[in-house]
């Protein structure tokens, strides 16, 4: 997901980049291609990159424990600058480029923001209900003890 920025003229430039989930640094639970639409807005001292990206993930439903796939989408902005003053501090959305850096690789940004976009609660469908046999099991076991039991089991294995 590299973009050559040497000789980039001022104004907006649009790019489309894609790479396999593995190439973009995802583990095996992300499949297919990662697609990214990248807009670079170049001005005298900075480049503002606005990125929308998506990837398909394979998840386990939190309720019924069945496997399902869903696409994860993200949109984020990163500002790149060459200026280096005392008070400039890099953070996630603000990066300083070396003077001789003529290429920006968006893979790590795309990976990071897509990873953050994976919902905390994963449901195969919005109205998914816990199947009765699982429900019965959950009611009988205190979840804290259940965690301990799983932990002990993995230790044994
Ligand atoms: Zn489900």
Q: Bridge partners of 19?
A: 34
Which residue, among 87, 91, 88, 89, has the nearest Cα to 77 in the 3D structure? 91
Q: Ligand 1: distance of its center to the CA of 116 in Å? A: 21
10-residue stretch averages of pLDDT, the chain, 157 residues long: 93 96 94 96 94 96 93 96 70 82 93 94 88 66 69 66
Output the pLDDT for position 100. Answer: 85
Which residue, among 54, 41, 58, 35, has the nearest Cα to 114 in the 3D structure? 54
Q: Ligand 1: distance of its center to the CA of 97 in Å? A: 45
Written as six digits, the tokens of 95 are 């990066």
Q: Ligand 1: distance of its center to the CA of 30 in Å? A: 19
Output the pLDDT for position 142. Answer: 65
Output the pLDDT for position 139. Answer: 60
d(CA 20, CA 18): 7
Output the pLDDT for position 147. Answer: 73
Q: Which helix (H) or strand (E) holds 62?
A: none
Output the pLDDT for position 156. Answer: 58
Q: Are 39 and 12 in contact (CB under 8 A)?
A: yes
Output the pLDDT for position 140. Answer: 60
Provide the greatest CA pair distance for the chain. Answer: 66
Q: Ligand 1: distance of its center to the CA of 132 in Å? A: 12
Q: Ligand 1: distance of its center to the CA of 138 in Å? A: 15
Q: Ligand 1: distance of its center to the CA of 54 in Å? A: 22
Output the pLDDT for position 93. Answer: 81
Q: Are 25 and 111 in contact (CB under 8 A)?
A: yes
Strand order in the sheet with 11-20: 11-20, 30-42, 46-60, 67-81, 94-96
Q: Ligand 1: distance of its center to the CA of 146 in Å? A: 20
Written as six digits, the tokens of 156 are 């044994």
d(CA 114, CA 54): 7
Q: Ligand 1: distance of its center to the CA of 66 in Å? A: 6
Q: Ligand 1: distance of its center to the CA of 77 in Å? A: 33
- The pTM of this model reads 0.77
């Amino acid at each position: 997901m590299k973009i050559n920025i040497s000789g980039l003229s001022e104004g907006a430039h649009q790019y489309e980049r894609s790479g396999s989930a593995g190439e973009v640094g995802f583990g095996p639970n992300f499949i297919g291609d990662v697609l990214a639409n990248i807009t670079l807005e170049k001005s005298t001292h900075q480049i503002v990159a606005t990125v929308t990206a998506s990837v398909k993930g394979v998840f386990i439903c939190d309720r019924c424990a069945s496997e399902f796939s869903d696409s994860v989408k993200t949109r984020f902005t990163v500002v790149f600058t060459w200026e280096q003053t005392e008070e400039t501090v890099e953070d996630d959305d603000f990066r300083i480029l070396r003077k001789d850096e003529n290429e920006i690789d968006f893979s790590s940004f795309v990976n990071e923001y897509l990873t953050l976009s994976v919902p905390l609660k994963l449901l195969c469908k919005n109205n998914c209900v816990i199947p009765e046999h699982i429900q019965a099991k959950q009611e009988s076991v205190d979840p804290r003890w259940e965690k301990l039991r799983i932990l002990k089991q993995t230790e044994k294995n």
